[in-house]
Copies of this chain bind each other. A is one copy, B any other.
Amino acid sequence: MTSTALFTDQYELTMLSAALRDGSAHRACTFEVFARRLPDGRRYGVVAGTGRFLDALRDFRFGEDELASLSFLEADTLDWLRNYRFGGDIDGYREGELFFPGSPILSVRGTFAECVILETLALSIYNHDSAIAAAATRMVSASDGRPLIEMGSRRAHEEAAVASSRVAYICGFAATSNLEAVRRHGIPGAGTSAHAFTLLHTGVDGPDEAAAFRSQIAALGVGTTLLVDTYDITAGVATAIEVAGPELGGVRIDSGDLGVLARQVRRQLDDLGATRTRIVVSGDLDEYAIASLRAEPVDTYGVGTSVVTGSGAPTAGMVYKLVEVDGIPVAKRSSHKESRGGRKRAVRLARSTGTVVEELVTKAGAPLPATDPYTVRELSVPMVRGGEIVHTATVEDARTLVAEGLRSLPWEGLGLSQGDPAVPTVFS
């Protein structure tokens, strides 16, 4: 086990130290994770990171290696950390659930001491993964059912890339280029060749694209996808079919005006009898570019930079706030950053057709206001009880939930244009 305990901000441990001295460390607390707002113009958020957070929580232990680097703490605090394991309760929205401003995505309950030190770990994972999820889901929605391949690893930190591949798959991407994500999370892998492979087949007489294509087909079979835009796309397509025959699996275009090129290449392929050869496009695609290609003969999208960077919103803006101490609601109140004190419960109201109309957030334990004629669904599920993880969900479960969530949104909530959240969050 590699400990996750130092994915923590120093102030959590200095607060712990002070609270252990004055006894407040043992007060019963509730912390909640929520986002005050969605990124500019976004209509919904998508919870992601739950599975990774629960794994990281299991490994959040202070061994001697970790303690040795905490020389700013006195012995009593170090002893407390040495024996630490989270012993409280956690409830939360399931991974893949949609969320809206103020949705109480995670509720962490226990003593102040045991809860406060989880802040950075929880936020790092949820903020990163949920940012990727929001972007990926918009892309899936924009693709109108055509498969997307996540190929952005090279544009992200190497570990963030693995997490991004996992999230993109949860949100409906078909496959990833990232081999560590394939190994770690069981996601389908994809990828055939880069321009370097075509360029490698250059001799004293110049480029030999046909040799590169022959070599790739010999290794990967005629069902492979050939990259046709290293030199001249029309010549590249002609060479591809000459070498592979009309049974060629696919061609990839990675540059230029993808809409124009896709039409041109489709016509050329059809003329050559390669009517079933697929067209894969890639190159700086984001959700808007994907949507703009919907009318074109594109079969698969390869998406890189924009998905792993959250397409303009690289972090989800979630916070981890103390909302209740010994049953007393607490909240900061000096500025626009106010929070709502008190432990919360959230339900989602929907029409009988399944279309969501409202996110309703109430005080935990209080009766729900009248919700007729809508159906009511509880949004939080138990995840940890007395320190034991009781929630297990696979990436496939989360993937199903994202797809269900998209079907439940009012149609205008699926638009890419800027607007208010797809449904209002009502605090009662």
Which residues of A are in contact with B by a Cβ distance under 8 Å? 4, 6-15, 17-19, 21-22, 24, 27, 29, 31, 56, 66, 69-70, 72, 112, 116, 119-121, 123-125, 127-129, 151, 153-163, 177-180, 182-183, 189-197, 199-204, 207, 211, 214-216, 218-220, 229-233, 236, 255-256, 283, 305, 308-310, 314-315, 317, 320-322, 325, 328, 330-337
Contact of A123 among B21, B154, B192 (CB under 8 A): B154
Residues of B with C-beta under 8 A to A317: 155, 305
Residues of B with C-beta under 8 A to A69: 179, 182-183
CB contact under 8 A between A14 and B191, given known A158-B56, A161-B7: yes
Contact of A179 among B70, B154, B190, B192 (CB under 8 A): B70
Q: Are B199 and A337 in contact (CB under 8 A)?
A: no
Residues of B with C-beta under 8 A to A200: 19, 24, 27, 29, 112, 322, 325, 330
A333 to B209, CA, bound (A): 13
Query: Least Cβ distance of A25 to chain B in Å?
Result: 9
A-B contacts, 19 of them at CB < 8 A, read A8-B179, A9-B178, A9-B179, A11-B177, A11-B192, A11-B194, A15-B216, A17-B220, A21-B219, A22-B214, A27-B200, A66-B183, A119-B154, A120-B153, A120-B161, A123-B155, A157-B160, A157-B163, A255-B335
Q: Are B158 and A124 in contact (CB under 8 A)?
A: yes
Residues of B with C-beta under 8 A to A13: 179
Nearest CB in chain B to that of A227: its residue: B11
Copies per complex? 2
Residues of B with C-beta under 8 A to A255: 334-337
CB contact under 8 A between A215 and B18, given known A157-B163, A158-B7: yes
Q: Are A194 and B15 in contact (CB under 8 A)?
A: yes
Q: A21-B215, A120-B154, A155-B315 are in contact. List 10 more A-B contacts (CB 8 A).
A: A8-B180, A10-B189, A14-B220, A18-B219, A119-B194, A157-B159, A202-B325, A255-B335, A255-B336, A256-B335
Residues of B with C-beta under 8 A to A305: 315, 317
Residues of B with C-beta under 8 A to A24: 200-201, 215
Q: Are B193 and A18 in contact (CB under 8 A)?
A: yes
CB contact under 8 A between A161 and B124, given known A196-B322, A315-B155: yes
Q: Are B218 and A22 in contact (CB under 8 A)?
A: yes
Q: Are B18 and A197 in contact (CB under 8 A)?
A: yes
Question: A-B pairs with the 5 shortest C-beta distances?
Answer: A11-B191, A10-B191, A18-B219, A123-B154, A255-B335
Query: Least Cβ distance of A81 to chain B in Å?
Result: 11
Residues of B with C-beta under 8 A to A124: 153-158, 161
Query: Least Cβ distance of A305 to chain B in Å?
Result: 6
Q: Are A215 and B22 in contact (CB under 8 A)?
A: yes
CB contact under 8 A between A334 and B11, given known A153-B124, A325-B202: no
Residues of B with C-beta under 8 A to A202: 325, 328, 330
